[in-house]
A and B are shown apart, each in its own frame.
Chain A
Amino acid sequence: MKTFEHYTSKTFEEASELLKQGKNVVVAGGTDLFGTMSKAILPEYPEAVIDLKEISEGEGIKDNGGTIEIGALTKLADVVDSQIILKKAPAMAQAAHSVATSIVRNTGTVGGNVCQDVRCWYYRYPHEGGGRFLCQRKGGAECYAVHGDNRYHSIFGGMKAGITPCTRECPAGTDIPAYMEKLRAGDYDGAAEIIMEVNPMPMITSRICPHPCQDKCNQLGNGDCVNIHAVERSMGDYILADIGKFYPAPKTETGKKLAVIGAGPSGLTCAYFMRKQGHSVTVIDKMEKAGGVLMYGIPHYRLPKHYVDDFVAALEGMGVKFDLGKTVGADISMDAIISGYDSVYLATGAWKQPILGIDGENLTMFGLDFLVEVNKYLKKVAQFGNNVLVCGGGNVAMDVALTAVRLGAKNVTLVCLEKESEMPATSEEIERAKEEGVTIINSRGLSKVVEKNGKVIGLETKACTSVFDENRRFSPKYDEADKTIIEADSIILATGQRVDLDFLGNKYAEKIKSQRGLIEVNQESFKTNLPNVYGGGDAVTGPNLAVRAIAAGSAAAKHMSRDLGFPFERGVKGSEFLSCDAESVAVKESVKLKEVPLGQRSLDKEDAVSLSKEETAKEAGRCMNCGCYSVNASDITPVLIAFDADIVTTSRTIKAKELFTTKLKVSDMLEQGELVKAVIVPDMEDYETHYEKLRVRDAVDFAIVSLATAYKLKDGRFHDARIVLGGVAPVPVELGKVEKLLEGKTPTAELVKQAGELAVKGVVPLRKNQYKITQARALVERFVEGAGK
């Protein structure tokens, strides 16, 4: 064992104070702690160990008349032998006696037992054995048991142990596994509700987002990542097919007025959430149609414009007003907007061309303008030639290059500063560009435009030796001696976009413009320096992903509405346990969108076809629903839950069921420094109580399945039965439905069968633990069968 400081506490309060400091742990019996420490099972090692054994008030069993108080530091061996417990709560003694071995029970305590960590072999793999498994429970990403040996794991599903990588990587924080689970169950409405909590336009994001959510998917350790965007797309199509249902007008009006400036992804998202709250929302935009970059910046073949039109129509259906073709600062003044509305959301994007300052720049085209022109007219614009050179390495540059190809340009070349591995464009987009014949030239910077009689004939480039400095900041270095000319008759610059805040006028710009020329907002509240004016999207961040702008629109709406006195009620709750499909998660290959063949791709038709419902369900089945699929190890907790015991901590008294089943870990339910001091078990003398434990060996082993029961028999009929399974899920499972079934009934053969069936209804076993269903069922059947005998 590595060293640590050691403190001996005489009171719980003293220990609690010490526990709040640094990375300290408490030790009661130590039967688990010192093993985990010496084998370096956990990534964090404590700085200090606080011994609780000397807290005299913590040990002992007291009959308080009606209840029995068991100190948290009471040894399990003493629970086993206690005459009070044997008489008034025998299942407690049985459970305590079933723990490990007599030597362990001589040291192990009640408090330690109920607070113990799981026994999953991945979780507990010793570090010295080749490195520990950093599973999700330990702060990592995945549950290794889902693909691995899961014979002792949960048959009722897992529980989230942290944010899954897909949700973490998604700027909007979409609970992707939750909607996947709904889709596996065929519940499209439930799935839609989950995604629309954070993103009102999945039909759009699924088509344009570079889906960072897929980059760290745990299925990558097995095969393809889950094709999240393809699944999202099916959901988006489903939502769009029933606009009335998914975009209902608010039931009540708040009377508050909001102006959104900019009808792009951020503004529309903010409008959606604010209108949903019942606020009056007006979206103002200088373009003829709403959608911003979705409408004008993204090519049709990636996002057909009817999706944008339909989404905007859905918002109109909710009662969002659009004031289009109006330029703020020219047609409407900022003063009028600020005085005419309760809140203002600025989301004007990043549309301005940056000036590079190279010779002949005036002869080039700005990439975004080019896309806007093509999107508007779906045809060639005037200066367009046959040898097109696109400058830039991002996704916009890819869009420009592919649009040029589809407009019929003979040769399209793309030049960028970055090496291929450094290019900001996604690898999918780079591959697509190459597939469609775009020549990509890496590691060259722009030197000057070569012209002849005022016409472009090429671009002089210079070698770019490095793009980023040691702090990963953009700081390109060139070799001025290494210059070459790339021939071209058109040059389109897609080397970035800037934010244009001229519309604000000096009076307001002074107040809210940052040094970098962006709108300055509080990152938490999205408030600008002007009262009731908020900002978000590219105008705040500079050019970024649409989904990040969506996230800002949704977060800003939440703050704006709260500030107006109408806080959001948020949070669709997922199911109690996470489930995954044991067979489908083993599938290595993802279901992919069907692409239109190379020769048939066009400027105005979408390149890919959405998945069918069957395909969607199949791909959703590959989601591992990452969480922790281990099982509770304690023998005492199922009994405490069955007895409806109270747990006394240093700061409160809490029901056993709440403490032990709400969250994955007991420690997550306790505040910092909070310690379990005692358990209060009701006098159960009027009940029959029992603890049954199935395992391989009669001693040592943890429960494979256990069952804590308590019931009364009135005239041969069940009354107030309590049935709690242990070892079958991350937390003990109270079989409420079976309890209800038994109430008032006599234990007939038919009832035995019904109870057994009901006990395991809805189980979601993993690949190697189906036998546990039989065991759980047998325990419940045996319990009903044996009642009164």
Chain B
Amino acid sequence: MDGKLIHIAINGEQYEFLVSTRKINGAIPPEETLATTLRERLNLTGTKIACGEGACGACTVLLNNRAVSSCITLTVECDGKDVVTIEGLQDPVTGELDPIQQAFIDYYAFQCGFCTPGIIMAAKGLFIKNPHPDRKEVEDALSGNMCRCISQYHALDAIMAVSEKLTNEGGIKA
């Protein structure tokens, strides 16, 4: 592959990358995963890499509004798509946190915090599809997110609080 220009919207900003198997300075090789591109090229290190095979959920981001594992997603295959990471949830102008982020703070829903961005992004994906999930639906949506500090119960409480709050306020903005 001599080189292919791809376009990805990341956290609302348009990026252009050159993908090539040739050793061109700055070019992305086809095997580069989205997680690596986010962390190492764009310094968006809120997205974590742990298992590297799509089993733990630490690298979860939104791809066209769906939660996916960025460690098993090739950057080249994100051409023309929309990516949102944990850094993209905060309002860039006011600095206001996403209601899920705020709820995690309010409910102390993390210990070491390594898995938290992934959990929040998985929850965000759920809220976009289903603004008022019940607890079972939340559990199902988070079934792919591992936590070794046992923060799960607090995380579920935080997310349920958002769901109930949204029920009262009438939905979450995508």
A771 contacts the other chain (CB 8 A) = no
Question: Chain A residues near B30 (CB, 8 Å)?
Answer: 3-6, 49
Question: Chain A residues near B125 (CB, 8 Å)?
Answer: 106
Contact A103/B67 with A1-B31, A3-B21, A31-B72 known, Cβ cut-off 8 Å = yes
A115 contacts the other chain (CB 8 A) = no
Tell me if A107 and B69 are in contact (CB < 8 A).
yes
User: How far is B77's CA from A106's CA once the two chains are assembled, in angstroms?
Assistant: 15
Which one of B93-101, B109-117, B140-148 contacts A? B140-148
B52 contacts the other chain (CB 8 A) = yes
B86 contacts the other chain (CB 8 A) = no
Tell me if A4 and B31 are in contact (CB < 8 A).
yes
B29 contacts the other chain (CB 8 A) = yes
A56 contacts the other chain (CB 8 A) = no
A700 contacts the other chain (CB 8 A) = yes
A523 contacts the other chain (CB 8 A) = no
User: How far is B72's CA from A27's CA once the two chains are assembled, in angstroms?
Assistant: 11
Q: How many A residues have CB within 8 A of the partner chain?
A: 29
Whole-angstrom distance from the CB of A579 to the nearest CB of chain B?
A: 33
Contact A30/B53 with A1-B31, A106-B66, A699-B143 known, Cβ cut-off 8 Å = no
For A23-58 the 0/1 string (1 means CB < 8 A from B) is 000010011001101110000000001010100000
Contact A31/B54 with A2-B31, A103-B122, A107-B73 known, Cβ cut-off 8 Å = yes
Question: Chain A residues near B21 (CB, 8 Å)?
Answer: 3-5
B19 contacts the other chain (CB 8 A) = yes
Q: Which of A39, A77, A104 counts the most B-chain CB atoms under 10 A from its CB?
A: A104
Question: Chain B residues near A698 (CB, 8 Å)?
Answer: 143
B60 contacts the other chain (CB 8 A) = yes
A101 contacts the other chain (CB 8 A) = yes
Question: Chain B residues near A30 (CB, 8 Å)?
Answer: 72-74, 77
Contact of B143 among A8, A34, A39, A102 (CB under 8 A): A102
Whole-angstrom distance from the CB of B36 to the nearest CB of chain A?
A: 10
CB closest residue in chain B, given A1: B31
B131 contacts the other chain (CB 8 A) = no
Contact of A103 among B19, B53, B68, B74 (CB under 8 A): B68
Question: Chain B residues near A2 (CB, 8 Å)?
Answer: 31
A423 contacts the other chain (CB 8 A) = no
Question: Chain A residues near B73 (CB, 8 Å)?
Answer: 30, 34, 107
For B25-66 the 0/1 string (1 means CB < 8 A from A) is 000011101000000000000000000111101001000001
Whole-angstrom distance from the CB of A56 to the nearest CB of chain B?
A: 13
Q: How many B residues have CB within 8 A of the partner chain?
A: 32
User: How far is B141's CA from A106's CA once the two chains are assembled, in angstroms?
Assistant: 10
Question: Chain A residues near B19 (CB, 8 Å)?
Answer: 6
Tell me if B74 and A34 are in contact (CB < 8 A).
yes
Q: Which of A8, A106, A699 counts the most B-chain CB atoms under 10 A from its CB?
A: A106
User: How far is B79's CA from A35's CA once the two chains are assembled, in angstroms?
Assistant: 21
User: How far is B77's CA from A77's CA once the two chains are assembled, in angstroms?
Assistant: 19
B8 contacts the other chain (CB 8 A) = no
Whole-angstrom distance from the CB of B7 to the nearest CB of chain A?
A: 14
Tell me if A700 and B143 are in contact (CB < 8 A).
yes
Whole-angstrom distance from the CB of A757 to the nearest CB of chain B?
A: 35
User: How far is B57's CA from A49's CA once the two chains are assembled, in angstroms?
Assistant: 24
User: How far is B121's CA from A102's CA once the two chains are assembled, in angstroms?
Assistant: 12
Contact A107/B31 with A6-B76, A35-B54, A700-B143 known, Cβ cut-off 8 Å = no
Question: Chain B residues near A758 (CB, 8 Å)?
Answer: none
B1 contacts the other chain (CB 8 A) = yes
Question: Chain A residues near B60 (CB, 8 Å)?
Answer: 103
Question: Chain A residues near B122 (CB, 8 Å)?
Answer: 102-103
Question: Chain B residues near A694 (CB, 8 Å)?
Answer: none
Question: Chain B residues near A49 (CB, 8 Å)?
Answer: 30, 74
Whole-angstrom distance from the CB of B32 to the nearest CB of chain A?
A: 8
Contact A104/B31 with A31-B54, A51-B77 known, Cβ cut-off 8 Å = no
Question: Chain B residues near A8 (CB, 8 Å)?
Answer: 76-77, 79
User: How far is B21's CA from A3's CA once the two chains are assembled, in angstroms?
Assistant: 7
For B118-160 the 0/1 string (1 means CB < 8 A from A) is 0000100110000000000000111111000000000000000
Tell me if A102 and B1 are in contact (CB < 8 A).
no
CB closest residue in chain A, given B125: A106
A100 contacts the other chain (CB 8 A) = yes
Question: Chain B residues near A4 (CB, 8 Å)?
Answer: 21, 30-31
Whole-angstrom distance from the CB of B4 to the nearest CB of chain A?
A: 8
Question: Chain B residues near A1 (CB, 8 Å)?
Answer: 31, 33
Whole-angstrom distance from the CB of A667 to the nearest CB of chain B?
A: 21
User: How far is B144's CA from A593's CA once the two chains are assembled, in angstroms?
Assistant: 58
Tell me if A104 and B144 are in contact (CB < 8 A).
yes
Contact A101/B68 with A6-B19, A30-B74, A39-B53 known, Cβ cut-off 8 Å = no
Question: Chain A residues near B68 (CB, 8 Å)?
Answer: 103, 106-107
Question: Chain B residues near A699 (CB, 8 Å)?
Answer: 140, 143-144
Contact A100/B144 with A1-B31, A3-B31, A6-B76 known, Cβ cut-off 8 Å = yes
User: How far is B1's CA from A30's CA once the two chains are assembled, in angstroms?
Assistant: 20
CB closest residue in chain A, given B140: A102
User: How far is B35's CA from A34's CA once the two chains are assembled, in angstroms?
Assistant: 13
Q: Which of B52, B72, B73 counts the most A-chain CB atoms under 10 A from its CB?
A: B72
Question: Chain A residues near B52 (CB, 8 Å)?
Answer: 35, 38
Question: Chain B residues near A51 (CB, 8 Å)?
Answer: 74, 76-77
Contact A700/B144 with A3-B21, A34-B74, A106-B125 known, Cβ cut-off 8 Å = yes
User: How far is B68's CA from A51's CA once the two chains are assembled, in angstroms?
Assistant: 17
CB closest residue in chain A, given B67: A103
User: How far is B1's CA from A104's CA once the two chains are assembled, in angstroms?
Assistant: 29
User: How far is B67's CA from A180's CA once the two chains are assembled, in angstroms?
Assistant: 52
User: How far is B54's CA from A35's CA once the two chains are assembled, in angstroms?
Assistant: 7
Whole-angstrom distance from the CB of A71 to the nearest CB of chain B?
A: 17
Contact A3/B143 with A35-B54, A103-B68 known, Cβ cut-off 8 Å = no
Tell me if B55 and A700 are in contact (CB < 8 A).
yes
CB closest residue in chain A, given B79: A8
Whole-angstrom distance from the CB of A35 to the nearest CB of chain B?
A: 3
Whole-angstrom distance from the CB of A23 to the nearest CB of chain B?
A: 15
Tell me if B1 and A6 are in contact (CB < 8 A).
yes
CB closest residue in chain A, given B57: A103
CB closest residue in chain A, given B76: A6
Q: Which of A30, A103, A106 counts the most B-chain CB atoms under 10 A from its CB?
A: A103
Tell me if A101 and B57 are in contact (CB < 8 A).
yes
Contact of B141 among A35, A53, A100, A102 (CB under 8 A): A102
User: How far is B141's CA from A37's CA once the two chains are assembled, in angstroms?
Assistant: 27
Tell me if A34 and B1 are in contact (CB < 8 A).
no
- Of residues 7 through 22 on chain B, the ones whose CB sits less than 8 Å from some CB of chain A are 19, 21
User: How far is B54's CA from A107's CA once the two chains are assembled, in angstroms?
Assistant: 10
The 10 closest A-B pairs by CB, nearest first: A101-B144, A699-B143, A35-B53, A6-B30, A103-B144, A1-B31, A34-B72, A106-B66, A101-B143, A102-B141
* Known contacts A3-B30, A100-B144, A106-B67; 14 further A-B pairs (Cβ under 8 A): A1-B33, A3-B29, A5-B1, A5-B21, A5-B30, A6-B74, A30-B72, A37-B31, A77-B66, A102-B141, A102-B142, A103-B67, A107-B66, A107-B68
Residues of chain B touching chain A, judged by Cβ–Cβ distance below 8 Å, are 1, 19, 21, 29-31, 33, 52-55, 57, 60, 66-69, 72-74, 76-77, 79, 122, 125-126, 140-145
In the assembled complex, 17 residue pairs joining A and B whose CB atoms fall closer than 8 Å, in A order, are A1-B33, A2-B31, A4-B30, A4-B31, A5-B21, A5-B30, A6-B74, A6-B76, A35-B53, A35-B55, A37-B31, A38-B53, A39-B53, A102-B143, A103-B68, A106-B66, A107-B68
Residues of chain A touching chain B, judged by Cβ–Cβ distance below 8 Å, are 1-6, 8, 27, 30-31, 34-35, 37-39, 49, 51, 53, 77, 100-104, 106-107, 698-700
